[in-house]
Amino acid sequence: MGVAPAKVVFTTGFARRYTGGEREFAIDAATLRGVIKEMDRRFPGLGTTLEEETTVAIDGAMHEVGYFQKLAPGAEVFFIPKIEGG
Amino acid sequence: MDDQVNVAEARKGFKWVGTSPVRPDGVPKVTGRAMYGADMKMPGTLVGKILRSPHAHARIVSIDTSRAAALPGVRAVITAADFPEQNFEYIGPERVAVNFWHVTRNIMAREKALYEGHAVAAVAAISDSVAAAACALIDVQYEVLPHVIDVDAAMAPDAPLLFADMITRGVEPAPTRPSNVSKRLEFKIGDLDTGFAAADVVIEHEFKTATVHQAYIEPHACSARIEADGQGEIWASSQGHFAVRALTAKLMGMPVGDLRVYPAEIGGGFGGKTVVYLEPVAAMLSKKSGFPVRLAMSREEVFRATGPTSGASMWVKIGVTKDGKLVAADGVFKFQAGAFPGSPVMNACLCAFAPYDIANARAVGYDVVCNRPKAAAYRAPGSPISAFAVESVLDMLAKKIGMDPLELRLKNAARIGTPTIFGPKHAHNGYPETVQALLDHPGYRAPLGKNQGRGAASGYWFNGGGESSATMQVNADGTVLVATGSPDIGGSRASMAIMAAETLGVDYKQVRAIVADTGSVGYTHVTGGSRVTFATGTAVVDATKTIIKDLCRRAAMIWDVDPEAVVWEDGHARPAGANAGAFPPLSLKDIAAKAAQTGGSITAAASVNAGGQAPGFSTQFCDVEVDPETGKVTILRFVAAQDVGRAIHPAYVEGQIQGGVVQGIGWALNEEYIYNARGLLDNPGFLDYRCPVASDLPMIEAVLVEVPNPAHPYGAKGVGEVNICPPMAAIANAIENAIGRRLTELPMSPPKVLAAIDGPDAGAGA
């Protein structure tokens, strides 16, 4: 990669449950797949949780979690609980 | 997806986007020939009927169905024992997590009946009268238990427990004693103590909202046919036939691939038809009887047994400086979940302060079970409830510091880069534009008369994206069929046809849009979350681009040139330039006529997981007049500004805004579930559960603010939900300005308003 890593952030509650309270991570990844893969390597099983339980905000823009999402250098990747509508 | 066809950039002006052509579903609806959920009739269809609990909370000691089963004309009797047991586990994301142990018990009670109207058994018979007689012959022995209806009462330490083993999730360490609190949530940003210390004025208040129903006109109804080989079909009106298929298959214990679901027309949903009630019951009755079975709810059943949105008890505290800077906000939101966990309290927490730039904020939520029907989604689920509290306190603060309430909102409006309480920064504008639109509206400064008041409020909703599919086919005469998996509730067939026609460059009347069944189009999420125009629209545009590429390829074959030598302009294939040759343009019809010679049917399919949706912001003001003799509130004027991105079909967009506002007026002034001392619903019908009708209302003026979303081919944003968020506070604020009393409990019905007028300081806030 060699460029600014993505800043990956979890909510406090999510971090408490899955990452021992650690909320922020710097991850070298060009796509969301890379982020998920690396988080799963650090916390086995977390990848599935991220895919199934979260919506992701990439630089503020909301997306369902998809491997294909591209990340700009230094992107902020915020995993938040999934939302439903009426 | 073909990036070579960039519609938004290619077309300077739009021909169809932004127009309001006649709706394609209009004629069958106004002539009464549209097929709704109850209209499907197959030969040999049996009538299904459900026996429901007469108690709010009771242990089911025994169910004897033998006399019912023996009644001539009865073909099947079922209870919960006919459905497979489900594991106790929360599957999927936290807010939308589904625990099928709960779901199967909501479909048919097992150990206990948890609310009046809870299904306990069902029959299929040859007629209504036989089915009713059979239900009367089912002997259910109950042990009636103490019940709890109110959310605060349900949280009390000595409250009757719905589940003896429910331990509150989200609390560490986990409580050792069970309670009715299913879950606690907390979202926080900044430092509250520092924030409130910087405030010149701090106001806090408690609020209550009532349980309200979506009040769709069409009651739930479906038909099901399960064949002897295990395969089945369901016809139902719903907000998502793929969801009906998935849920029914799971509850029946059958493979998804064995079930095909056909979407009927839908007479309103507003979130309430994103779940199943009847479909698994009809399917099980059909499986057991060997005949098709039709089930349809009465209006009373709709009220007693389907999900309204939560009533809530809330506390909100906000601090502001003298010059109008919001510096801290705190809120506690306690939501009724109904008989099973799963209120929209998380959304309430996330949306409560979202329109504002507040550096220090916290929202705490509680999901609380009680002896009511399980809550279901209702238009921006959760957000209107917390907005009532937050927007009321903002009005009190504006008054206290002598600032115009819209100016206060504008000064603190969230913009691109503003942090949210849930973490990410806002990525879209749109909110301040709605506030400014009302500040510029001539009505906002118009004089008021005696007993009249004006109030304003705002709201926020996420809007949705996600999975959608579309297929497109060009017919032999050059007409076009667009099929999607999104049930049409708010006019999506028209907007899909508009986007396809715009992209293709053909006449709107050439394009027919339909809603296809689960066997005929790719998976598509429910029509909910204001997602269809954005996500399904993106799929339609993607499919259209693929068709265009194919049309150019076929034109090249006809002209015997390279495909690169063909461009698509204004609904025709044309030579790309002088070097490509001198050929007359080929229309869609011309190319369709050569379909066989150029490779067969001209079709395309597209599936997306659409992301980058922009949130919805709405700001509204209203003028009211309060009758001091009766307490009746009359709405004199209502103006609703909403950021819609770009209105694909403006008349439908206005309709969405007007509909959301009217529902909000109902929440504000009249609608509520009224339970008696036995925990039974006393007003399960439209005579006593009073929705606003046309004669109650002025013309709702919709102001379409267009801040396009670059993530959509035409800039669309979801428009269906955020409009219901501001009305309750806007009306409360207007009433306060009319009578000098702050009402903090919904509905603000005449008795409450009169009590506020007559009381010494009844409910006064600031």
* DSSP class per residue in A14-76: HHHHHSTT--EEEE--SBHHHHHHHHHHHSTTHHHHHHHHEEEEETTEEEE--TT-B--TT-E
Do the domain assignments include residue A74?
yes
- Which residue on chain B is closest to A54 by alpha carbon? B93
- Which residue on chain A is closest to B271 by alpha carbon? A86
What CATH number is associated with residue B530?
Answer: 3.30.365.10
- Boundaries of domain holding A73: 6-81
Residue B555: what pLDDT? 97
Residue A53: what pLDDT? 82
Do the domain assignments include residue A1?
no
Q: Are strands A24-27 and A6-10 parallel, antiparallel or unpaired?
A: antiparallel
Hey, what's the torsion of the CAs at B588, B593, B596, B600, to 10 degrees? Answer: 30
On whether both B262 and B114 belong to a single domain, the answer is yes
- Cβ-nearest to B380 among A52, A60, A86: A86
Q: How many CB atoms lie within 10 A of CB A48?
A: 11
The percentage of residues in chain A with a pLDDT greater than 90, rounded to a whole number, is: 57
On whether both B539 and B453 belong to a single domain, the answer is no
Do the domain assignments include residue B62?
yes
CA distances from B545 to B5, B161, B505, B604 (A): 6, 57, 11, 9
Domain count within chain B? 3
pLDDT (tens digit per residue) in B684-711: 999 999 999 999 999 999 999 999 999 9
Beta-bridge partner residues of B225: B233
On whether both B420 and B453 belong to a single domain, the answer is yes
Alpha-carbon distance A5 to nearest alpha carbon in chain B (angstroms): 17
On whether both B414 and B469 belong to a single domain, the answer is no
On whether both B574 and B641 belong to a single domain, the answer is no
Do the domain assignments include residue B285?
yes
Query: Of all helices (H) and strands (E), which one includes residue B643?
Result: strand B633-643
Per the document, the length of chain A is: 86
Query: Of all helices (H) and strands (E), which one includes residue B153?
Result: helix B151-155
**Does the beta carbon of A70 lie under 8 angstroms from any beta carbon of chain B?**
no
The answer to whether the Cβ–Cβ distance between A62 and B611 falls below 8 Å is: yes
Do the domain assignments include residue B51?
yes
Q: How many CB atoms lie within 10 A of CB A24?
A: 11
SS (H, E, C) B84-128: CCCCCCEECCCCCCEEHHHHHHHHCCCCEECCCCCEEEEEEECCH
Residue B405 and residue B414: Cα distance in Å, rounded? Answer: 16
Residue A27 and residue A48: Cα distance in Å, rounded? Answer: 18
Is the Cβ–Cβ distance between B459 and B618 less than 8 Å? Answer: yes
| 3-state secondary structure at position B51 | strand
On whether both B318 and B453 belong to a single domain, the answer is yes
Is the Cβ–Cβ distance between B343 and B367 less than 8 Å? Answer: yes
Residue B85 and residue B77: Cα distance in Å, rounded? Answer: 18
pLDDT (tens digit per residue) in B591-650: 999 999 999 999 999 999 999 999 999 999 999 999 999 999 999 999 999 999 999 999
Q: Please say which residue of B610, B641, B656 terminates a domain.
A: B610
Do the domain assignments include residue B165?
no
What CATH number is associated with residue B246?
Answer: 3.90.1170.50
Measured in degrees and rounded to the nearest 5, phi and psi for residue B21 equal -70, 165
Residue B2: what pLDDT? 36
Residue B106 and residue B337: Cα distance in Å, rounded? Answer: 13
Cβ contacts of B186 on chain A, cutoff 8 Å: 12-13
Residue B702: what pLDDT? 98
On whether both B634 and B730 belong to a single domain, the answer is yes
Residue B336 and residue B311: Cα distance in Å, rounded? Answer: 6
Prediction ipTM score:
0.83
Measured in degrees and rounded to the nearest 5, phi and psi for residue A62 equal -80, 140
Do the domain assignments include residue A50?
yes
Residue B730 and residue B721: Cα distance in Å, rounded? Answer: 16
Looking at this protein, which amino acid is placed at residue B122?
A
Burial tier of B683 (Cβ tally within 10 Å: 0-12, 13-18, 19+)? middle
Q: Which residues of chain B have pLDDT under 70?
A: 1-12, 92-97, 761-766
Do the domain assignments include residue A24?
yes
On whether both B236 and B126 belong to a single domain, the answer is yes
Beta-bridge partner residues of B482: B472, B513
- Boundaries of domain holding B598: 7-34+465-610
On whether both B455 and B582 belong to a single domain, the answer is no
Do the domain assignments include residue B178?
no
* DSSP class per residue in B258-302: GEEEEEPP-S--TTTTSS-SSHHHHHHHHHHHSS-EEEE--HHHH
Residue A84: what pLDDT? 67
Do the domain assignments include residue B294?
yes
Supply A21's token pair. 């309270």
Do the domain assignments include residue A20?
yes
Q: In the 8-state DSSP scheme, what is residue B161?
A: P
Looking at this protein, which amino acid is placed at residue B686?
F
Mutate to test the interface with A, among B1, B94, B489, B542 (most CBs of A within 10 A): B94
CA distances from B452 to B357, B731, B744 (A): 32, 11, 19
Query: Of all residues in chain B, what percent are helix, strand and coil, respectively (each to 5)?
Result: 30, 25, 45
Is the Cβ–Cβ distance between B465 and B613 less than 8 Å? Answer: yes
Residue B155: what pLDDT? 98
Supply B47's token pair. 């009538």
Alpha-carbon distance B136 to nearest alpha carbon in chain A (angstroms): 36
Mutate to test the interface with A, among B89, B425, B532 (most CBs of A within 10 A): B425
Supply B399's token pair. 């008054």
Cβ contacts of A83 on chain B, cutoff 8 Å: 95-96, 347, 350, 462, 464, 529
Domain count within chain A? 1
Residue B96: what pLDDT? 57
Cβ contacts of A64 on chain B, cutoff 8 Å: 465-467, 609, 611
On whether both B286 and B357 belong to a single domain, the answer is no
Alpha-carbon distance A18 to nearest alpha carbon in chain B (angstroms): 13
Q: How many CB atoms lie within 10 A of CB A43?
A: 16
Cβ contacts of B467 on chain A, cutoff 8 Å: 64
Cβ contacts of B92 on chain A, cutoff 8 Å: 52-53, 82
What CATH number is associated with residue A52?
Answer: 3.10.20.30
* Spatial CB neighbours of B5, under 8 Å, sequence gap ≥ 6: B503, B545, B548, B549, B568
Residue B367: what pLDDT? 96
Residue A3: what pLDDT? 73
Is the Cβ–Cβ distance between B412 and B358 less than 8 Å? Answer: yes
Alpha-carbon distance A20 to nearest alpha carbon in chain B (angstroms): 13
Do the domain assignments include residue A86?
no
Do the domain assignments include residue B204?
no
Supply B76's token pair. 């099947």
Do the domain assignments include residue A21?
yes
Do the domain assignments include residue B183?
no
Query: Of all helices (H) and strands (E), which one includes residue B399?
Result: helix B383-401
Do the domain assignments include residue A76?
yes
The answer to whether the Cβ–Cβ distance between A86 and B423 falls below 8 Å is: no
Residue B5: what pLDDT? 38
On whether both B526 and B578 belong to a single domain, the answer is yes
On whether both B391 and B519 belong to a single domain, the answer is no
